[in-house]
């Protein structure tokens, strides 16, 4: 089989597997088999880039870097909708429709108004050729590479009735579960939390590195079809066809015979919408027939045949009784408001985040105040204000603690940061507990069967003071130990005990964890600001734990996407004697301290003996691709600027410190085009 035939076969097969999984919830093959086939396709495409198809599933993982987004003009303007919050306005809208259609029979289609980012996708001959943001409605940004990373967006559609050129529109969003996962990781490594899913989705779509977009696992619901000439008679027909063609159409829409049925739909989804995987803020009502939409026409800003009903922000008022201060793994102290229980968005809310001392001061909130509570992004309760009309003499100012609520250590606050931190990393009980939880999680050492209660029990019994102690545990150490835990809120008792099967499962999971790859081990160490992605890049760049342990701050800054804060944190962490002892105990336990060497396929020898470093972003390469091309042509990438460096490749937004140092050392600086010319030579 020729490379072209194999690439075509793999592309079609993997696209079919993706379609079955994301549209029909059917797993045709296991993850390992899928990944092996995808790796084979990527390897073939790297060797034969001219054979790569536009609908290649390898685009799902990203990797393309754009130094800026080009502007595209929408063939059909992306107009905004008129909004209303009242049923009276909907009746008036219906009256206008009836009058505009001169007594014709008409019906509506109701759809949930998703809280995301409006997107436009263009297909030519069934292939996705362009993805764009709404922008100002007339023109938007070309984010095609980022759109291709969304696994529910078809890269190619097939069928007998598909137009040669058409456009679909929809809402790109960050699923709530993914939003919570990202924030949990950010909290875990000491990064500020994302504000809400909508802003997070918007920022992700504008990322210049599509690989970073792919890691966010965005999704998209499609809800509109456009073409010239028109293909369908009704909006309902288009939704059915889009679903049939493999587009991710939310099945929450409904055809309504009249405005009364529209009202019923709106009332039905007022609370039901909270069970969906994304935020919603209303209902979109559209006249179903396209000829009637044309007859009704448009105002300067919005169509006359559609309107958006917005649900009022769900808020409640209740009393702030107390504040509890939680200590995270990195020592950050977070205030949590303890509230008189109140019903909000279908759930009983007992607590809400106050984020930090700055937020308490901004709100001007006091203990025993009546406060307003909303659900930020409609998932996370937050205090949005104080009912000053109900403030009494019982209200008392909140005094932020100056010492750690868990261990009594004086808190510190770094300049420019909002959070207070407990610096007692090794002795503070919550920090020690959460350090274990970080170490055993799936993306780190993946030690199953060790839940929160079991870790606490091991620490309480003196069996494990650091995660390295897990590798010294024996069957006799664990068998029979137990502890009774009391839930402070419910008063219920819970017994955690280590019986025969539990002990066997734990010891087996600990043993299996020794096979985790080096990047997972590095992430498991719990270095502040070093998340899963950063650990992967450090592992790829340096190749071994020893190289990272001895790396200077300047060398660390040469790693893609590693800034001064991360570099300083890594150097500081490895400078600590206890941390180095912890690492050596993990080495002795047999954990992976080096990554697998990547085989470099030579393209030529034009760069033999030459050393390179780069700064900024590039039009033709991601940073990883640039390093690969240098190595494939005999060159070497250095970790920092020195007299041994032959060339500094300068891209857009180059780092000023590297440029300054290169000038001082008289290191030749070349552009991306000059580097390409060197390869061609």
Q: What is the pTM of this model?
A: 0.70
Domain 315-414 carries which CATH code? 2.40.50.140
Whether the Cβ atoms of residue 634 and residue 580 lie closer than 8 Å to each other: no
Continuous segment of H or E residues that includes residue 168: strand 165-173
Pick the CATH number of 518-589 from 1.10.150.20, 3.40.50.180, 1.10.3720.10, 2.160.20.10: 1.10.150.20
CATH code: domain 429-515 is 1.10.150.20
* Distance in Å from the first CA to the final CA of the chain: 33
pLDDT in tens, 201-241: 999 998 888 888 988 899 999 999 999 989 999 999 999 99
Confidence category of residue 615, pLDDT binned at 50, 70, 90: confident
What is residue 312's predicted lDDT score, i.e. its pLDDT? 81
What pLDDT, in 10s, does the model give residues 279-321?
888 999 999 999 999 999 998 778 999 999 998 877 889 999 9
pLDDT of res. 260: 96
| Cβ atoms of 286 and 306 closer than 8 Å | yes
Q: How far is it, in rounded angstroms, from Cα 349 to Cα 309?
A: 26
Query: Would you say residue 427 has pLDDT above 60?
Result: yes
At residue 588, φ and ψ (nearest 5 deg) are -65, -30
Residue 376 clears pLDDT 60, i.e. is over it: no
Q: Are 163 and 191 in contact (CB under 8 A)?
A: no
Domain limits, CATH 1.10.287.610, in the chain: 3-61
Q: CA separation (Å) from 59 to 62, 154, 283, 314?
A: 5, 12, 33, 40
Helix (H) / strand (E) containing 84:
strand 83-84
**pLDDT band of 598, cuts 50, 70, 90:** low
Regarding the domain with residue range 611-680, which homologous superfamily does it belong to in the CATH classification? BRCT domain (3.40.50.10190)
Closest to 373 measured CA to CA, from 408, 397, 337: 337
Is residue 25 very low, low, confident or very high in pLDDT (cuts 50, 70, 90)? low
Quick one: pLDDT at residue 379? 59
Which residues are marked as active site? 113
Mark the binding-site residues for Zn(2+), compressed into ranges.
404, 407, 422, 428
Strand partners, 495: 484
Nearest to 319 by CA among 369, 363, 354: 369
Q: Determine the Cα angle at 412 with ends 409 and 417, to 5°.
A: 150
CATH (residue range 3-61): 1.10.287.610
What CA–CA distance (Å, rounded) separates 614 from 651? 8
Per-residue pLDDT band for 489 (boundaries 50, 70, 90) equals low
- All CATH 1.10.150.20 domain ranges in the chain, comma separated: 429-515, 518-589
What pLDDT is attached to residue 277? 87
- CATH 2.40.50.140 in the chain, residues? 315-414
The superfamily in CATH containing domain 73-310 is DNA ligase/mRNA capping enzyme (3.30.470.30)
> Where is the binding site, in residues?
31-35, 80-81, 111, 134, 171, 286, 310, 404, 407, 422, 428
pLDDT tens digit sequence for 181-197? 888 888 888 777 787 88
Nearest to 474 by CA among 447, 511, 438: 511
Name, of 14-18, 569-573, 593-597, the range with top average pLDDT.
569-573
According to DSSP, the β-strands at 71-73 and 254-256 are: unpaired
Mean of pLDDT over the chain: 88
Contact of 220 with 242, CB cutoff 8 Å: no
């Amino acid at each position: 089989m020729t490379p072209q035939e194999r690439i075509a076969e793999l592309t079609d097969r993997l696209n079919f597997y993706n379609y079955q999984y994301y549209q029909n919830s059917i797993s045709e093959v296991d993850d390992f088999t899928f990944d092996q086939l995808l790796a084979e396709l990527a390897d073939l495409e790297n060797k034969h880039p001219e054979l790569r198809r536009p609908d290649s599933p390898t685009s799902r993982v990203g990797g393309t870097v754009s130094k800026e987004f080009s502007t595209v003009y929408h063939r059909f303007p992306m107009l905004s909708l008129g909004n209303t919050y009242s049923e009276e306005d909907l009746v008036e809208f219906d009256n206008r429709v009836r009058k505009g259609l001169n007594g014709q029979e008409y019906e509506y289609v109701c759809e949930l108004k998703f809280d995301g980012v409006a997107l436009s996708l263009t297909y030519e001959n069934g292939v996705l050729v362009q993805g764009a943001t709404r922008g100002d409605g007339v023109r938007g940004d070309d984010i095609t590479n980022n759109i291709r990373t969304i696994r529910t967006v078809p890269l190619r559609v097939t069928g007998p009735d598909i137009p040669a050129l058409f456009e679909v529109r929809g809402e790109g969003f960050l699923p709530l579960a993914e939003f919570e996962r990202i924030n949990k990781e950010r909290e875990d490594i000491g990064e500020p939390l994302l504000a809400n899913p909508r802003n997070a989705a918007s920022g992700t779509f504008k990322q210049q590195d599509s690989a970073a977009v792919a890691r966010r696992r965005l999704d998209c619901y499609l809800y509109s079809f456009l073409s010239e000439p028109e293909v369908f008679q009704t909006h309902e027909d288009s939704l059915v066809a889009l679903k049939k063609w493999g587009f991710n159409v939310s099945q929450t829409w409904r055809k309504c015979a009249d405005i009364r049925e529209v009202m019923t739909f709106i009332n039905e989804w007022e609370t039901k919408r909270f069970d969906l995987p994304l935020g919603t803020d209303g209902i979109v009502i559209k006249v179903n027939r396209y000829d009637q939409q044309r007859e009704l026409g448009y105002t300067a800003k919005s169509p006359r045949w559609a309107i958006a009903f917005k649900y009022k922000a769900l808020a409640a008022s209740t009393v702030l009784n107390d504040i509890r201060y939680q200590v995270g793994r990195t020592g950050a102290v977070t205030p949590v408001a303890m509230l008189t229980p109140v019903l909000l968005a279908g759930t009983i809310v007992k607590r809400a985040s106050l984020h930090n001392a700055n937020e308490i001061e901004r709100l001007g909130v006091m203990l025993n105040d009546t406060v307003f509570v909303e659900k930020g992004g409609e998932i996370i309760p937050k205090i949005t204000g104080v009912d000053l009309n109900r403030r009494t003499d019982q209200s008392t100012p909140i005094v932020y603690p100056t010492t750690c609520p868990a261990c009594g250590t004086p808190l510190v606050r770094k300049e420019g940061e909002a959070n207070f931190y407990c610096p007692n990393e090794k002795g503070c009980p919550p920090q020690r507990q959460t350090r274990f939880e970080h170490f055993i999680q799936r993306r780190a050492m993946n030690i199953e069967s060790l839940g929160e209660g079991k870790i606490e029990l091991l620490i309480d019994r003196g069996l494990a003071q650091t995660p390295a102690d897990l590798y010294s545990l024996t069957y006799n150490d664990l068998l029979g130990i137990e502890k009774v835990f009391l839930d402070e809120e419910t008063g219920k008792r819970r017994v955690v005990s280590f019986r025969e099967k539990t002990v066997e499962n734990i010891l087996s999971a600990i043993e299996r964890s020794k096979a985790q790859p080096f990047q997972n081990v590095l992430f498991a160490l719990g270095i502040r600001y070093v998340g899963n992605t950063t650990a992967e890049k450090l592992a790829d760049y340096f190749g071994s734990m020893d190289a990272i342990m001895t790396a200077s701050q300047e060398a660390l800054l040469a790693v893609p996407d590693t800034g001064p804060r991360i570099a300083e944190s890594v150097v500081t962490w490895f400078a600590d004697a206890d941390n180095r002892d912890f690492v050596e105990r993990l080495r002795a336990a047999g954990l992976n301290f080096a990554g697998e060497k990547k085989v470099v396929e030579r393209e030529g020898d034009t760069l033999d003996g030459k050393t390179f470093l780069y700064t900024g972003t590039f039009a033709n390469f991601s940073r990883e691709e640039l390093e690969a091309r240098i190595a494939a042509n005999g060159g070497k990438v250095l970790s920092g600027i020195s007299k041994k460096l032959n060339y500094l490749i300068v891209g857009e937004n180059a780092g000023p410190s590297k440029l300054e140092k290169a000038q001082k050392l008289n290191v030749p600086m070349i552009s991306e085009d000059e580097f390409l010319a060197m390869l061609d030579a």
